[in-house]
């Protein structure tokens, strides 16, 4: 089973999840290599296989929202670590600057490190599941 570099996949998910981006990313089902088409990537890393747009041997890297790594992740953390503030967190995300306000609340509660650890662990678990579904292994 091809192994996908976890950091490369995480970076690719972040790149394709930028609002309004035309950037795309794929994972080779044969090698596990992550390929990115983006102005943010240059040089040797920007070199793409000739058949990347036509071959079924490459799978598109999903957007964070497809992996439930957006609001669901925030709400899961609020439910688990900030039960008294969970409703407040949900209300924050009905207004603009929600992530900034959420980050401020997390910091205010002394939970910044716990939030980062939670987000990283959940992201790795979700990406490992996505890899497994596609015949890949997250490494």
Instruction: Give the domain extent around 29.
Output: 3-62+128-138
Please state, in angstroms and rounded to a whole number, the distance separating the CA atoms of residues 19 and 115: 23
Looking at the structure, tell me whether residues 121 and 73 fall in a common domain: yes
Residues 53 and 82 occupy one common structural domain:
no
> Could you tell me if 92 and 114 lie in one domain?
yes
How many other CB atoms sit within 10 Å of the CB of residue 33?
Answer: 15
Do residue 89 and residue 41 come from a single domain? no
Same domain, 48 and 73: no
Q: Are residues 28 and 39 in the same domain?
A: yes
Question: Residue 128 burial (CB < 10 Å; 0-12/13-18/19+)?
Answer: middle
For the stretch 91-132, pLDDT in tens is 999 999 999 999 999 999 999 999 999 999 999 999 999 999
Residue 44 has pLDDT above 60, yes or no: no
pLDDT of 43 reads: 55
Same domain, 50 and 86: no
Same domain, 71 and 96: yes
Question: Same domain, yes or no, for 44 and 57?
Answer: yes
63-99 in b/e form (b: 16+ CB < 10 A) is ebeebebeeebbeebbeeebeebbeebeebbeeeebe
Report the Cα 59 to chain-centroid distance in Å: 15
Shared domain check, 91 and 51: no
* Domains in the chain, number: 2
Residue 139 has pLDDT above 70, yes or no: yes
Burial class, 53, CB count within 10 angstroms (exposed 0-12 / middle 13-18 / buried 19+) = exposed
CA distance 138 to 83: 32
Give strand pairing partners of 3.
Answer: 137
Q: Say if residue 91 is in the same domain as residue 120.
A: yes
């Amino acid at each position: 089973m091809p192994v996908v570099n976890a950091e490369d996949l995480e970076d690719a998910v972040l790149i394709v999840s930028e609002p309004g981006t035309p950037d795309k990313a794929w994972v080779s089902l044969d090698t596990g290599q992550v390929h990115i088409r983006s102005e943010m990537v240059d040089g040797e890393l920007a070199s793409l296989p000739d058949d990347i747009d036509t071959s079924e041997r490459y799978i598109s890297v999903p957007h964070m929202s497809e992996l439930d790594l957006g609001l669901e992740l925030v709400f899961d953390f609020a439910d688990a670590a900030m039960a008294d503030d969970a409703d407040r967190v949900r209300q924050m995300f009905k207004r603009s600057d929600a992530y900034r306000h959420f980050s401020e609340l997390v910091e205010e509660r002394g939970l910044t490190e716990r939030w980062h650890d939670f987000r990283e662990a959940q992201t790795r678990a979700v990406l490992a599941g996505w890899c497994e579904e596609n015949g890949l292994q997250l490494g």
